[in-house]
Every structure is written in C-alpha cells, then in structure tokens.
Chains A and B, each alone.
Chain A
Amino acid sequence: MEERAISSEHLKFLLSGKLLLRQEIPLDEILFQKLLQQQIIRKAGSIVQKGFSNQCLRCGNKKTSLFATIPCGTCSKTHLYCRNCIAMGRVMECEPLYEWHGESVSWPNHLEPCTWQGQLTLVQEQAANRIIKAIRKEEKELLVWAVCGAGKTEMLFPGITAALESGLRICIATPRADVVRELLPRLKKAFENVTVEALYGGSPTKAGTAQLILATTHQLLRFKQAFDVIIIDEVDAFPYHNDASLPFAANRAKKKRCTTIYLTATPRREHRKRIQQKKLEQVFVPIRFHGQPLPVPQKKICFSLKKDLKKFLPPKEFFTWIPNRKNPARQLLIFVPTIALAENMHSIMRRYLVGMNFLKNEKEMAFVHAEDPNREEKVLLFREKKIQVLLTTTILERGVTFPSVDVAIIDSGHKVFDEAALVQIAGRAGRSPNDPKGEVLFFHDGKSDAMEEAILSIKQMNRRGGFK
C-alpha cells in the first residue's frame, strides 16, 4: 500500500467503477471511516442468502461446493467464505464489499488519439467500420468473427479511437495474462496520449485508473458499472466459456449503456445460433491480413499410436514426416493432450531428433505447460529462434503468434482437442506474410468428429474468403 496521502481527485479515479474488499482500498482506517460516514464509500453485500442457496456477490457463485466455512478470528463466528473467487482475495460473509458513491469521473474527449501509422486491409477496414458504428450507435452487442491471423487488434483501433473521441471508457478483456502483456506495448504505442493500464495477476499496477484498461477476464471481478465499451477477446475460450462468474463479472462491469464487442475465431454453437436467429449482430473477417488462405490440416493415421504413447514415444509417422517437410527452415510447434505426456515425451523426442541430426543439441527443444513457471521465458526463446522445437499442451493454442512454424498435433483425436482448439492450433501456422503457408498435421489413430469438423470449418472459412 502506498503511504503518501491520496488526493480526493485521485481517490475518485481509484475507487469509482469498482467493487472492492477493504484490503484492496489503500486508505488508512480514519479516512476510510470518514468516507463511510459521509456515504462517499458505501457498503455492499458480499455473501447473501438467495432462496435456499447463498450467492457471492463479487463473483456470482451459487454452488454450495464452492463455499466453505471458516472459524473467523476477526468476528469470532464460523461463517461462509467464497472459494470460487479466492484467488482475487477472500470474500467473507462477515465483511462487506465497498463501492464508491462520490463524484464520478468524466473521461476526457480525445482529439485524434490514434498514433498508429499502419494501414488496414480492405476487409479489416470493413470490420473496423462496423465496430465504429456499433460504438457510435450504442448497440448493445456485436460479434466479430475473425479467422486466426486476421489482425484483430489493429481492427479494433478505429473503434477505440471513436470511443476515446467521445470520452468513453474502454476495457479489453482477454483470457490470458500472456496476451495482456503482449498487447500492452502495442496499445500504448497506438494511443500514446491516452492512459492505458494492464491488469492481471501479478501485474505491476493494480490501481485500474486508466481510461483504456487491458485486463485478464478475472480482473473484471473488481469492477462495477465502469465501462462504456467492453471488448471480450476469445469469447469462446476457457475460462470465459466455462466459468459462469466471468460473464457475471463482465456484465456488472458494464455501465447502463454499454457496447459489448465479442471477438472470436471459433464461435461456439450458442453464439452461432443467436446469429442465425438474428439475435446477435456479427461481422465476419474471413481473410488473414496477408491475404493468404488458412492452412488446411492433413490427417496422418498412426496404427500403433496408443502403444507408442504408453511408452511416451511419438508415432513413427511423425519421424517420417520430419525430413519430408516442405520448408525445413520452419520451427516446429508440437501439441500433445496432457502435461504428463508433454513432460515424458519431451526427453525421448529430443534424443531422437538429435540422433536424426534434426537438432544440433538437446537444448534446442523445450516443453511448456499451463503451470510452468518458466513459460514466458521459453516462449520468448522460441520466438527468438533459440529453441527450434517447442512441445506444448493446449496452453499455446491461442493468443501467441510465431511467424514461421509447422504444427503437429500428436493424438489429435483426444477429447481435449475439440473443434475450436483444433482450429486455433491450426491457426498458429502460416502467420507471416513472408511464409504464409505452414503445414498442420493431425497424428491420430482414428479420426474424431472434432477433427472432421475443424477441417470442414477451415475449408469453409477459406471458401468464404474467396479461396477455392
């Protein structure tokens, strides 16, 4: 907590549009109590009874199994706390949440805030114009369906510009901290004179006082009626898609009049249905920014796959493919279904690859997974081409971009690889205008529906993009 006195002007930025625990409010007790008395800060319910169940009003959790009881040392009673949102600080039945009822912030109307020099392609511009219209006309929702590699970030710039010109506050929420970290410098550069702030677990700042906020979806749990425009990136992805508390928080973070823009490359069935029923407006971007089609995955059947995987061996078809790749200069991104498999196959595979003279030494290959503390570093090494082969779980299926890779999925029929995951993984290939092709291989021992659907959907998107 900062020790220096906080001016009332700064306080307004710090607390308005938020829903916070006492420990998240950096005020000494005397000033805090004074503001409570003046009703500038007010108490709000934390865990309340709703019918026969309880609800955590920060995350919306109603599941009995996600509440537990604690013999509380503060109030000396045994009462509930919420386990669902505990990573963001513990919500206790005996402690309220707090919200700001003082003067609200009026955000500046910027004059030509966009300092990005680039040029949008024709398709990107069409989508960008549609986004501008949605924001100007205060449309409630718009889904932007853009294929992997369409350049969606740049597509957002004109819409963000329009919002900033009207003095609106904007939040871009994305599932992963990696993506937030990657986006921050790009947005700062694109809007040099606008306050931009990144929020994620462990981010250097937690204040949330900027006009343009970039955040992991979880961070929305701290906001209430804060944003005029919310852009939800990868709306089909984990965790937004699986965790009901995130849509709950996103909804609460909206001001009464708010435009929500959903971004996705692989819309889920419920969104497609709403589009078909004309209940959800959409704009489709079928072409990658470099104008080349999406690589279509090839299936390779491996009859001894199960047997090989038991020994953590890659199938022999994989080793047959390696020396026959169309462009041997490309790096290799390999996906496997489980962490255990990644870990065990890694040491075996790199020995083979060195033996085949494909790698100079074993250090040229690494593996990453979701809980890997060195994930960021390894991804960076791969991007800098200090690592040639990266073995990964689905954690790298989205968000991260490498210019020139071939992609192999080992055991692509496994249930973790659903249609969306496979389309996303295939979308890692051919991202650079200098090498827009890239191979995608599905190594399997019996094709799954998801594989078929993914291939079909990629071909369909290519057709809609005007490719044969």
Chain B
Amino acid sequence: MECLWCMEEIIVEISWINLFQVERQVALCSRCNEQLEKITGARCKHCSRQSTQDICPDCKWWKSQEKGDPLEKNFSIFHYNDFMQAIIAKWKYRGDYVLGEIFEQELFQACNEQFKFLMKEAVVVPIPLSKERSKERCFNQAAMLAGFIPMEKRNILSRIHGEKQSKKTRRERISATNPFFMSESLNKPVLLVDDIYTTGTTLRHAASLLKANGSHKVYALTLVRG
C-alpha cells in the first residue's frame, strides 16, 4: 500500500489500538497526514472561520441583509494550508481523481458529528460544475465528496458557465448573479457539499435558490475553509 500523495510505502504498525482496524485503508502515510491541518479551537459557529467571536463580522453582515442569511450554517474540516492547496490543485485542476479518497473518513466523521440531526430527512446536494467545466475535468469534486456521506443524494442543481471563481475579487464574487438553476422543487432540508468555502457566496447562491424552491433549511459541509 502506497501513500496516495508521496507514493512512499505505508507501513502500518499494528498495536492494540488499531488491531481491529488494520483492514481500514489508509490513504496517506503518517508524514503526509500530519501536514493536513484540521480546524480546531474557537471558530465562528456559523461559517467555521477561526474566530474568538461566536459569529464573525462577515456572517453578521450576511444576517443583516434584507432576506437574512439563506445558509443556516457551514462546517469546514480543514485549513487551506500549502499542503492542502497542493492536494486540491492536483485533485481538482489536474484531475487526479483518486486523491479525493484522502478525505473519505474525515467527511464521513464530520457529517456524523455535525449533522446527525439531518440524517433522517435531509438530502445531500453537491455544488455542480457547469457543463463545460465538467467536460474538461470529467468529474465533479463536490459530487465525489458528497459520495462519502451516508445520506440520500440528489443532483438537482445546474450551473451556468461563467468565469472561474478563483479569478474574481471578493467584491465581484459577492455581487455576482446567481449562477445556479433548478427545474424541480424539493420540500426537504438540504446539506450542500463543496470543496472550499472562501467567501461563502457560491453556497449562498445555491441556498437561496433551494429555499425559493421549497427547502426550509439549508446547511453546508465543506472540506476546507479558505
């Protein structure tokens, strides 16, 4: 078994603690795994940003908008450190699909810990790619992440092709028009899944559309807080 990232052989040391878990596949060697940085300590309860305030200024701003914040809460698992940036670049932009498997356990676990109350009734909706982008990449990283969550999945959102989010400034992102559309309604709470939460605009576009089409509450689970 080789590390998905550095390709070094993974030596699984068997101890009493993991004796019954050896069957579980490890994606990264311990040296690579150590470089993933989980978000710990005080964070904004709303968007997972590291913050000593319960609700960070950005989230307060969203709440102060006319229609309020369409997103109930976002939970992110990791910091967007250099190592994570390198993995995401290779996974998403180079298209090294299998790298997504690195996050399987963590996503499963985060969902269990944070969104257990949703398990019965909610559906998981991955943030889609536009047709053009999806043709280019041959897979949607958000859909791959959604696949790790043990809940019903629905691909009910579509996306209009536009400029890359990463090329826009913060202001441009926030003021951009909603790139999503959907053709059916959904009377259930939704857990949106995406790889990165940066300004949260994309998720909120999706959330407000879902709410306009029947969903009462929309939550988000993202791999990384950018």
Contacts and interface: CB of A to CB of B under 8 A. Distances in A.
Interface stretch (A85-93, A104-112, A141-149, A349-357): A85-93
B7 A65 contact: yes
A70 B135 contact: no
Contact of A72 (B2, B7, B90, B139): B139
A65 B98 contact: no
Contact of B96 (A73, A74, A86): A86
B135 A90 contact: no
Nearest to A72: B138
Contacts of A69: 97-98
Contact of A65 (B2, B82, B96, B137): B2
Nearest to B95: A90
A74 B139 CA distance: 9
A66 B7 CA distance: 9
Contacts of A86: 90, 94-96
Contacts of A66: 7
A296 B82 CA distance: 40
A380 interface: no
A1 to B, nearest CB: 13
A68 B139 contact: no
Given A73-B137, A92-B138, A68 B7 contact: no
Interface string B106-149: 00000000000000000000000000001101111000000000
Interface string A57-74: 000000001101111111
Interface residues of A, number: 16
A290 interface: no
A73 B131 CA distance: 10
Contact of A68 (B94, B97, B135, B137): B97
Interface in A74-123: 74, 81, 83, 86-87, 90, 92
Contacts of B135: 73-74
Interface string A305-320: 0000000000000000
Given A65-B7, A70-B139, A72-B138, A81 B94 contact: no
Interface in A364-400: 371
A81 B7 CA distance: 16
Nearest to B101: A68
A74 B138 contact: yes
A95 B95 CA distance: 14
A136 B191 CA distance: 70
- Main SS of the interface on chain A? mixed
Contact of B98 (A74, A83, A92, A371): A83
Contacts of B96: 68, 83, 86, 90
Contact of A73 (B2, B94, B98, B138): B138
Contacts of A71: 97, 139
A290 to B, nearest CB: 41
Contacts of B140: 73
Nearest to B136: A23
Contacts of B98: 68-70, 83
Contacts of B82: 371
A294 to B, nearest CB: 35
B94 A90 contact: yes
A88 to B, nearest CB: 9
Contacts of A68: 96-98
B169 to A, nearest CB: 21
A66 B138 CA distance: 19
A73 B135 CA distance: 7
A83 B5 CA distance: 11
B53 to A, nearest CB: 32
B155 to A, nearest CB: 12
Contacts of B97: 68-71, 81
Interface string B149-181: 000000000000000000000000000000000
A65 B1 CA distance: 8
Nearest to B135: A74
Which 8 pairs across A and B sit closest by C-beta, in order of nearness? A68-B98, A70-B97, A73-B138, A90-B95, A72-B138, A65-B2, A86-B94, A74-B138
Interface of A: 65-66, 68-74, 81, 83, 86-87, 90, 92, 371
